[in-house]
Chain A
Amino acid sequence: MADLSSKGEPILQVRNLVKHFPLTQGILFKKQVGAVKAVDGVSFDLYQGETLGIVGESGCGKSTIAKLLMNLERATAGEVFYKGQDITKLSGRALKAVRRNIQMVFQDPYTSLNPRMTVGDIIGETFEIHPEVAPKGDRRRKVQELLDVVGLNPEYINRYPHQFSGGQRQRIGIARGLALNPEIIICDEPVSALDVSVQAQVINLMEKLQDEFNLSYIFIAHDLSIVRHISDRVGVMYLGKMAEIGTDAEIYEHPTHPYTQALLSAVPVPDPEARENRDRIILTGDVPSPANPPSGCRFRTRCWKAEEKCATDVPLLAIPERFQGSDSPAAHESACHFAEERAVLPA
């Protein structure tokens, strides 16, 4: 786990990242009639050896961020600095070089591995694209090493994905992510498709690898207890914007944004004693469409604190005024006009 006092320079800086997907009408003469504002001005930093958890409901833009960081999607606006270099503007050879250092582990181990390729080919393919990492004759051995690192038998190199269980497949996905010795791994819901008893194995593996290779993780998930376990810092997203960001203790024990409070209180706690004396906030309604988000604060349509100001002024992600200069753990960045503490999890 990263020591936060010696953070140094961030390895990845995201500034006002925006991704709008155009909505078009017409077949021959396409005309843009609107845009799905999947990510709408998100900023955060990632430090060496740190895990940043990103939580939020489906449709809040978590996965789009992952794709933007990998440059799989082109950002509409904003910058992503990797070691001071803006990668959103890169292309060709320069982009390829950066991608070597930012790798991804996907959610669904059943669809993210090509069923017609052997495990050796799946992991070894990365070396075809980046031949400088492993010379040709050496690749097979390298792949076997990787399998060993992720806890699979190196003799399985000629097997196909269908011969493995879900947890084993996710290990193959992780081995592929590790193949190029990246510095950053973006994990998009890496354990949500796995069985409960296997999830813990994969989480342990990821933590072990982080220590071993000094990796930085961006860990996207909707399971709040797992995010808390693995993350040093946590960002909560709502409808394309970051609602609150802080260390895991700040977010989980001293949430100040109403959405974070609602999200935390809605999580079923595996403790039947807690069900009677728990402060539950049940939100009404659904997440609004990102094509037509509410004015002002995006959460106001479901928020119990909303006032007129919320409909007109967009709250900025900053340390709330009332907590400025204080040492309290509530003094972390929160995008709410009326940020205040409310402990929702049983201590």
Chain B
Amino acid sequence: MTTIDKTATVPAPRNGGDNEGPLLEVRDLHVEFHTRDGVAKAVNGVNYSVSAGETLAVLGESGSGKSVTAQAIMGILDMPPGKIPQGEIFFRGQDMLKMSNEERRKIRGSKIAMIFQDALSSLNPVLTVGYQLGEMFRVHQGLSKKEAKLKSIELMDRVKIPAAKARVDDYPHHFSGGMRQRIMIAMAMALEPDLIIADEPTTALDVTVQAQVMDLLAELQREMNMGLILITHDLGVVADVADKIAVMYAGRIVETAPVHEIYARPAHPYTKGLLESIPRLDQKGQELFAIKGLPPNLLRMPSGCAFNPRCTAAQDICSSEIPVLHSVTEQDGSELPGRKSACHFWKETIHG
């Protein structure tokens, strides 16, 4: 393993905290995978931004491109077969896609960190958790083994793992699922990054533990004023923690909105369908609303709006023209800040 000179220049100093503009901005990002069967377009022009202290929830089903976008931001996309034909990812105003591998490596982990879904398979089973936590300090900050271990204990304390001192030499399998996820969080927090990307951080956990972990994450975020990108498919988790939401479908963002508004008045038929398919009290005994059909095959994307084969409101224009992300307004034309919808008939969807 190579050690990194900690005095090396890193783009934009950490305490340039007087952010003009967002922390991270993704512009027109495209990602495709070249497979034997053809080109799978996983991400087709995604735009979003996150500021310090803000939580953006990226909501989507499997195959919607939400995780691939995150991997592109982190720079951990497998290339090949992955390829980024166009797009920019600005971190503190600098396009990360134009940086050298070495520069990106310095950002990864120390400025932008990621929490993965499955803690058990993300941790190395043959190394102690203390060693794995300490690796962050040894590699990025050049600390000695002993110092790194002390730091690891501190971190484990911080994420509220009981008896951290005694457990630092335990292996991942000694910990329960919730504790493992705390270790993942500790690892991401280790170097106090500006931005954390959490990819389905609680999907593998039980609800009571999920509540603990989400609380911890929110608390640490507040403390350090971090930006958080929360990738999930759970509408409940989103409602609990997010500030704003981006809904993805087939590699595109179909709707963005502040969290309160999207639940009250969705402006895209897909979002509407998702919200309506949640079992509600007054619907007991009735058939649930279900979005018919299946998510599209990324190798054979439908023409026009990718959602048109499943949409109840689809008309001719939907299969011929790809809808752009329209700004959504009130009926009287006054603006709804932060609201956008990629539907030809957003007016009918939100007001109709």
Closest to A230 in B: B279
Task: Evaluate contact between A272 and B239: CB separation under 8 angstroms.
Answer: yes
Given known contacts A57-B207, A262-B208, A275-B240, is B263 in contact with A204 (CB within 8 Å)?
A: no
Would you mind naming 29 contact pairs between A and B with Cβ atoms under 8 Å apart?
A: A165-B294, A167-B294, A195-B62, A196-B233, A196-B277, A198-B294, A200-B288, A200-B291, A204-B288, A208-B287, A224-B207, A229-B288, A262-B208, A266-B211, A268-B211, A268-B234, A269-B239, A270-B236, A270-B238, A272-B263, A275-B239, A282-B211, A282-B212, A282-B215, A283-B211, A283-B212, A284-B212, A286-B179, A287-B206
Q: Which residues of chain B come closer than 8 Å to A224, judged between CB atoms? A: 207
Q: Which residues of chain B come closer than 8 Å to A327, judged between CB atoms? A: none
Binary flags per residue of A200-223, CB closer than 8 Å to B gives 1, else 0: 110110011000000000000010
The size class of the interface chain A forms with chain B is 35 or more
Task: Evaluate contact between A268 and B236: CB separation under 8 angstroms.
Answer: yes
Q: Which residues of chain A come closer than 8 Å to B238, judged between CB atoms? A: 268, 270
**Nearest CB on A from B103, distance (A):** 37
Task: Evaluate contact between B290 and A273: CB separation under 8 angstroms.
Answer: no
A1 at interface (Cβ–Cβ under 8 A)?
A: yes
Residue among B209, B263, B288 with most chain A CB within 10 A:
B288
**Nearest CB on B from A340, distance (A):** 20
Cα separation A225 to B288 with both chains bound (whole Å)? 12
The size class of the interface chain B forms with chain A is 35 or more
Task: Evaluate contact between B240 and A266: CB separation under 8 angstroms.
Answer: no
Given known contacts A58-B206, A195-B233, A280-B211, is B177 in contact with A269 (CB within 8 Å)?
A: no
Cα separation A199 to B242 with both chains bound (whole Å)? 23
Sample of 15 more A-B contacts, CB < 8 Å, known A166-B62, A200-B291, A262-B208? A167-B294, A195-B233, A196-B235, A197-B277, A203-B288, A225-B279, A228-B279, A229-B279, A229-B283, A268-B207, A269-B239, A270-B239, A284-B212, A286-B176, A286-B179
Given known contacts A57-B206, A197-B273, A198-B294, is B288 in contact with A270 (CB within 8 Å)?
A: no
77-117 of chain B: CB within 8 A of chain A: none
Task: Evaluate contact between A270 and B275: CB separation under 8 angstroms.
Answer: yes
184-215 of chain B: CB within 8 A of chain A: 206-212, 214-215
Closest to B277 in A: A200
Which one, A195, A262, A274, contacts B295 given CB within 8 A?
A195
